[in-house]
């Protein structure tokens, strides 16, 4: 499927499109891997944001993607633009024969995500979807425990995302809080957590959801809840709001099983707060050291995510989260929105 030659004799060259809020995490990750990658181009339609990015990275600046693609020597283009722009930009990049990395969510509409995967397949290039939270040390420990079947049968799962996004956050850019370009509390802020529902627990059988815009002056929801049933028989809840007073409070997952109870909380699943298992394993000693302090809801996973991308382009690994993995999360998100809109249970997979 992929017709590229592994890059083994030089640094991997990157271009980044969209120099806003999340781009700084990418710049930091790229700097962290300076021995393996180099950022050759940056792009933004906002002149001050572009100037700031050029000053930090010393990369060549471009005011639009067309100009960048004409001139760049990059191997991979990183999209940190508003979510609704990802599909067309990814398709443009793929048509130029370059690999694509896109921030979450990969798209705001199901068929757009499918088109992205198809375009990259046809062009023979890789599509990476950023899911850096999977690399958090706390979640890696939890994932390993699930894979070792230490829980036995999983009965119940509760996921909370109690953050705050004031009105001035949404007012800071016209695209924020819109259906077309951003998505709401589920699609935007909680998408990494919704990704964990599948990655940790397994395939989802059905969902029922409510969403509401309770306080913010935006098109999309600022709060939502969902009930979830997995194919394994486990049941769970998702509770998300951007209205927590006065600041971000919690991003957590609690799993109750036949032989274990675990809760990982903190502001961004960064603290193992309960770790009770019927058996003992050597890795239990890592629990205290895996928790970490953070004021950022993004976590610390971007450099670790980039490591996998680098190893994939060198021909040394397979991608941890490619376009197809991104589609699983997008499908779950769309199912929740359909359930809320139509007032009914939505079974997965979606009919398409």
Question: pLDDT tens digits, residue range 294-323?
Answer: 655 555 689 999 999 999 999 999 999 999
Angle, helices 302-313 vs 23-32, to 10°: value is 60
- DSSP-derived letter for residue 317 is -
Q: Supply the pLDDT for residue 292.
A: 81
Separation in Å, CA 283 to CA 137, 141, 142, 148, 294:
12, 8, 10, 12, 23
pTM of the model: 0.94
Average pLDDT, the chain: 95
Burial 136-158 (b: 16+ CB within 10 A, else e): bbbbbbbeebbeeebbeebeebe
Q: Are the beta carbons of 175 and 305 closer than 8 angstroms?
A: no
The pLDDT > 70 percentage for the chain reads 97
Q: Are the beta carbons of 156 and 256 closer than 8 angstroms?
A: yes
Q: What's the pLDDT band for 9 if we cut at 50, 70, 90?
A: very high
- DSSP-derived letter for residue 315 is T
* Calpha distance 265→160 (Å, rounded): 9
Q: Supply the pLDDT for residue 1.
A: 61
* Calpha distance 336→332 (Å, rounded): 6
Residue located via tokens 């969403």: 211
Separation in Å, CA 33 to CA 58, 76, 94:
16, 15, 24
Q: Supply the pLDDT for residue 252.
A: 97
Q: Supply the pLDDT for residue 4.
A: 78
For residue 99, pLDDT beyond 90: yes
Q: Stretch 113-137: mean pLDDT, rounded?
A: 95
Q: Supply the pLDDT for residue 297.
A: 55
Q: What's the pLDDT band for 168 if we cut at 50, 70, 90?
A: very high
Q: Supply the pLDDT for residue 300.
A: 66
Q: How is the chain split among helix, strand and coil, in percent rounded to 5?
A: 40, 25, 40
- DSSP-derived letter for residue 26 is H
Terminal alpha carbon distance of the chain? 23
* Calpha distance 3→17 (Å, rounded): 24
* Calpha distance 234→254 (Å, rounded): 13
Q: What's the pLDDT band for 293 if we cut at 50, 70, 90?
A: confident
* Calpha distance 189→351 (Å, rounded): 26
Q: Model confidence over 65-79: pLDDT tens digits?
A: 999 999 999 999 999
Q: Are the beta carbons of 297 and 268 closer than 8 angstroms?
A: yes
For residue 251, pLDDT beyond 90: yes
């Amino acid at each position: 499927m992929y017709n590229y030659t592994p890059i083994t004799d030089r640094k991997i060259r990157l271009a980044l499109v969209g120099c806003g809020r999340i781009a700084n995490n990418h710049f930091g990750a790229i700097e962290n891997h300076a021995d393996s990658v180099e950022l050759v181009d940056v792009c933004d339609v906002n002149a001050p944001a572009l100037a700031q990015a050029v000053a930090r990275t010393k990369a060549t600046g471009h005011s639009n993607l067309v100009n960048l693609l004409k001139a760049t020597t990059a191997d991979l283009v990183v999209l940190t633009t508003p979510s609704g722009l990802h599909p067309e930009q990814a398709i443009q990049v793929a048509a130029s024969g370059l690999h694509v990395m896109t921030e979450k969510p990969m798209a705001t509409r199901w068929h757009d995500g499918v088109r992205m995967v198809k375009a990259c397949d046809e062009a023979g290039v890789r599509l990476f979807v950023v899911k850096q939270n999977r690399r958090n040390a706390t979640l890696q420990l939890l994932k390993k425990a699930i894979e070792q079947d230490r829980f036995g049968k999983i009965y119940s799962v509760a996921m909370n995302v109690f953050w705050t996004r004031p009105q001035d956050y949404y007012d800071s850019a016209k695209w924020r809080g819109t259906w077309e370009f951003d998505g709401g509390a589920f699609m935007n802020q909680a998408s990494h957590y919704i990704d964990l529902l599948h990655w940790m627990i397994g395939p989802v059988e059905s969902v029922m959801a409510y969403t509401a815009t309770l306080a913010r002056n935006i098109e999309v929801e600022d709060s939502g809840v969902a009930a979830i049933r997995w194919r394994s028989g486990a049941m769970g809840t998702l509770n998300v709001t951007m209205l927590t007073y006065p600041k971000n409070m919690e991003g957590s997952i609690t799993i109750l099983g036949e032989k274990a109870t675990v809760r990982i909380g903190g502001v961004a699943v960064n603290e193992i707060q309960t770790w009770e298992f019927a058996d003992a394993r050597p890795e239990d000693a890592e629990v205290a050291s895996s928790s970490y302090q953070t004021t950022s809801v993004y976590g610390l996973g971007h450099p670790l995510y980039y490591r996998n991308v680098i190893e994939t382009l060198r021909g040394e690994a397979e991608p941890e989260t490619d376009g197809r993995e991104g589609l699983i999360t997008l499908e779950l998100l769309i199912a929740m929105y359909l359930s809320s809109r139509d007032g009914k249970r939505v079974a997965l997979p979606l009919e398409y």
